[in-house]
Amino acid sequence: MNYPKSRIISNVLLAVFGLITFINICNYSQAQNIVKVEYFINSDPGFGLGTNIPITPSSNILNQIHCIDLNMLNNGFSYVYIRAKDENGLWSLTNVVSFFKDNIKPTLADIVKAEYFINTDPGLGNGTDIPITSSTHLSDINFIADITTLDKGFHHIYLRVRNSDGVWSLTNIKSFLKETFSPTPFEIVKAEYFFNTDPGIGNGTNIPIASATQITGISFSADISMLEKGFHNLYMRVKNSEGQWSLTNIRSFYIENFIPAGNIVAVEYFLNTDPGFGNGVNIPITPGNPLIAANISANINSLDNGFNHLYLRAKDNNGVWSLTNIVAFYKDAIDNSIANIVAAEYFFNTDPGIGNGTPITVAPGQNISVLASASLSELSTQGVNRLYIRTKDAKGKWSHTNIIYFTIDHLVTLLSNPIGGGQIDGGGWYSNNYELTIKATSNLGFIFLNWSEGGVFLSNLPEYTLFVNSHKTITANFEEFEIKPGDVNNDGLVNVLDMVWLISHILGETPGGFNHFNADVNSDGIINIADLSALINIIIEL
């Protein structure tokens, strides 16, 4: 049966909601047979005067399909009412379902005209024409809008198109600001500065400048003699030949009163414990310029091996001592003999302690060259990692620990269960926290079920997005099925439930386990309203 597409959409809705209606009727009168069902649209003709729906009398009426003629209805919203009568002559409540009738063209009409206007709508077709080439889709259309007559300020540009059926699109709008710019920059003719408080435009202290369109590298001396000690703000601005002032720039600064530096007349040092000012070991110097250089030899014979501290300070001719400077150093007995390197070890990221790293086999010697492989399989830290290496000599002394930084990526392995169930895309090596989308496509005779990792369910959608932060092995699970056009939910039957699933898919809400092969009822490679029409015909014929 071939119906207009507007009628098909309405019939589908009526069939689905009609099923719900009949179930409700049965719940209220389980003990009586339903002997009559009728419907009417928009206006009630009275009980028994509606359009008859042929049924077989029964206490339960399920899966009834009936086509309603909508040809006499205008496009727009309408209401279909359904009620039933039992063998005792009692009528059910009247159920109502609203629906929308519209004519859907099988193909898109060409866009044949485009126009724009600014601020005020002159009426459809009266805007300024935009030259276009007729097409069902328009993109990347460039045009120049004349704004010479507009005042400075904010405005709105509107754009709309018309197709070959004379139908206009919605009007799109964009706001913009018109500003007048001088073709050449004006010269800067004045500059001024002030401190802390603005005396008013033009009332600052003048900065001598030579007029120019750009001023760079201007130096000036600002008189701070009247300012108190502490933080202050310096403001500066310029004016062009049109009398327009720039924004005011600001710089903060601090004023401190300094005493002229005196000559350094004494320098002393001490080790570890401060004996008091002037009681340290004297360092001979020549008094004079504050910037001096002095070399000293500090006697450390009495110090124990280990870490120690050297302190140093100076005094000027005003009797003022400097801050005491400190240098840490390590004293150790030096053995001039060089021992052989007898052991080496490495570890990743965290030090397990001296001697507890992974051993590296070496041939003893004062200088060694070793080629070794470090296993990365047990690393759990993502991204940047650190490899540490150190050696030990025959005297039991360990070297400094050397460090190498490196980055590890993560391997995502994708498996198909069973093998041959489908194609999977997205496996490979990825950087840490990479946002990865993997995709499963069923082979003919199989349907995608879900993604899992280590037996744990992840998603039932063919496309799944995850963040890669470790090595992963993910399985795409498929199930073999019998190809049966119309069995959308893959339950082995073709019925109204498959219609519901197909409608959900067409409306963009695909249920999990949706069988795309069986949903393409007319085998044209596209799942759309035509497949729904074909599915209805299959169900009616069944």
- Which of 344, 403, 394 lies closest to 368, judged by CA? 344
Neighbouring residues of 48: CB distance < 8 A, sequence distance ≥ 6? 36, 38, 85
Note the pLDDT tens digit of each residue in 505-532.
Answer: 888 877 766 767 777 787 787 888 888 8
Question: pLDDT higher for 247 or 217?
Answer: 247
Is pLDDT of 432 > 80?
A: no
pLDDT-wise least confident of 178-182, 233-237, 241-245: 178-182
* Percent of the chain topping pLDDT 70: 88
What is the number of other CB atoms lying within 10 angstroms of the CB of residue 519? Answer: 24
Give the model's pLDDT for residue 23: 38
Query: Per-residue b/e over 224-262, b at no fewer than 16 CB within 10 Å?
Result: eeeeeeeeeeebbbbbbeeeeeeeeeeeeeeeeeeeeee
Interatomic CA distance for residues 415 and 411, integer angstroms: 13
Quickly state the pLDDT bin for 129 (edges 50, 70, 90). very high
* Percent of the chain topping pLDDT 90: 44
Pick left, alpha or beta for residue 93 (phi over 0 → left; psi -120 to 50 → alpha; otherwise beta). beta
What is the number of other CB atoms lying within 10 angstroms of the CB of residue 205? Answer: 14
Interatomic CA distance for residues 238 and 316, integer angstroms: 47
Angstrom distances, CA of residue 251 to CA of 179, 231, 236: 31, 11, 9
Q: Is the peptide bond before 418 cis (omega within 30 degrees of 0)?
A: yes
Give the model's pLDDT for residue 289: 64
Strand, helix or coil for residue 5: helix
**pTM to 2 decimals?**
0.27
Give the model's pLDDT for residue 117: 97
Pick left, alpha or beta for residue 539 (phi over 0 → left; psi -120 to 50 → alpha; otherwise beta). alpha
Note the pLDDT tens digit of each residue in 70-105.
Answer: 888 898 999 999 999 999 999 999 999 999 888 776
Question: pLDDT higher for 531 or 132?
Answer: 132
Instruction: Evaluate whether the domain defined by 5-101 bears CATH number 2.60.40.
Output: yes
Supply 373's token pair: 């492989």
Yes or no: say if 414 and 464 are a contact pair by the CB < 8 Å rule. Answer: no
Neighbouring residues of 519: CB distance < 8 A, sequence distance ≥ 6? 488, 501, 502, 505, 527, 531
Neighbouring residues of 17: CB distance < 8 A, sequence distance ≥ 6? 97
Supply 330's token pair: 């390590």
Note the pLDDT tens digit of each residue in 196-241.
Answer: 999 999 999 999 999 998 888 888 889 898 899 999 999 999 999 9
Q: Could you state, in order of their start, the residue ranges of all structural domains in the chain?
A: 5-101, 111-178, 188-255, 264-330, 341-408, 410-480, 496-541
